[in-house]
Amino acid sequence: MATRVTSADVARAAGVSRATVSYVLNNRLDARVTEATREHVLDTARRLGYHGSPAARALRAGRGEIVMLLLPEWNTAGEVGRALREIGRQTTALGLACLRYEGPEWRQRLASLLGMVTAAAVVTFEPLTTEDQEAVAGAGIPEIRAWFLDSPGEPHTTQIDQASVVLTQIDHLMDRGIRELAFVAAEETHDQGFAEARLAAFQTICRERGLRNDRILSVDDDLTELVERLRVWSEDSGRLGVVAFSDFTAVGVLSAAQAAGLQVPAELAVIGVDDARFASLTRPPLTTIKLDLMNEAIAVARKLAAALELPVPEADSQRSPLSVIVRSTT
């Protein structure tokens, strides 16, 4: 195994001092270096295959180059995944490395984690425990909050809130002339906070519009209860509109609707969220909401750059954060 090649090696090979090498590699314009030697150093560095030691640089600079994303156990298949990739891209453009830490394990172990990773900043997607908050503060690292989910008592930092997702769903159903609504969530361990926020929004919006807001159900693997409820609900209303928590849930609703003998979309309309991969493969193809979190991703990158005193990237022009993908279930 070839031992690491250091800047001293480069200096020796190029016949200059180590300081000069450092100046050239970090191309500091204020240090006066002849163009000839600059080229020479750059060339030998490349020839020797020099890559600086991140540890040494971090030690010297007092700050690392890693941006650590502390992810809850989310499903990253859909738009959330796309947003995370965009954050990664932006971070790379800032000259930093974007790494993810996933799983529930970090919840009280952040201190030991930060004792192993020389992070430049930490990006959170949920409130931290006070203990963890102290850990990140003790490490002298900024915490960037990318909370896509509104959190009680905290000013929300992104433009898309869960309420407007539900609002868009309801608006679409009402545009189709439907005034009898129901909300179906999923019994899941993940994304529980999202489900609660959406449910609350559903109830509020319905109340404001003078609609019934008590048709609510959580569905698990067993669909029998859902079948029963759909039957009852649609008996006392002309045409039922189901606001599904996600496309997964919507699949369950479709199955239950058939079992209940309800025609989709004639007697029962469904609208999901996330435009999952299988949404176009259901029967009938699923109408759903597509989120666009790019603005949020860029917002995160801007906060990051500001906190680290780096050049702040431009905000993208107006993009519509929510759009309805109309297929055949509404």
Task: Using CB under 8 A, list all residues that contact a second copy.
Answer: 1-5, 49, 51-56, 58-59, 62, 64-66, 68, 75-77, 84-85, 88-89, 92, 96-103, 105, 109, 111, 113-118, 134-135, 137-140, 188, 219, 221, 223, 248, 251-252, 254-255, 258-259, 277-278, 280-283
Helices 192-208, 162-175: axis angle to 10 degrees equals: 50
Alpha-carbon Rg for the chain in angstroms = 26
Rank residues 12 and 107 by Cβ distance to DNA and give the closer one. 12
Least distance from C-beta 63 to DNA, angstroms? Answer: 11
CB 323, CB 290: distance < 8 Å: yes
Kindly state whether residue 266 participates in binding DNA, applying the rule CB under 7 A. no
From candidates 12, 13, 48, 52, binder to DNA by CB under 7 A: 52
Picked from a second copy, DNA, none, the partner binding residue 311 (CB below 5 to 8 A depending on kind) is: none
CB 120, CB 63: distance < 8 Å: yes
Least distance from C-beta 220 to a second copy, angstroms? Answer: 9
- The span from the CA of 166 to the CA of 324, in Å, is 12
Residue in 270, 255, 101 with CA at minimum distance from that of residue 181: 270
- C-alpha distance from residue 191 to each of 78, 113, 160, 188, 205 (Å): 13, 24, 16, 7, 21
From candidates 43, 46, 47, 56, binder to DNA by CB under 7 A: 56
Least distance from C-beta 31 to DNA, angstroms? Answer: 5
- What is the token pair recorded at 77? 């298949």
Least distance from C-beta 42 to a second copy, angstroms? Answer: 15
Residue in 76, 77, 25 with CA at minimum distance from that of residue 50: 25
Kindly state whether residue 8 participates in binding DNA, applying the rule CB under 7 A. yes
Give me the residues that bind DNA (CB under 7 A), please: 4, 6-8, 15-20, 22-23, 25-26, 28, 31-34, 36-37, 50, 52-53, 56-57, 59-62
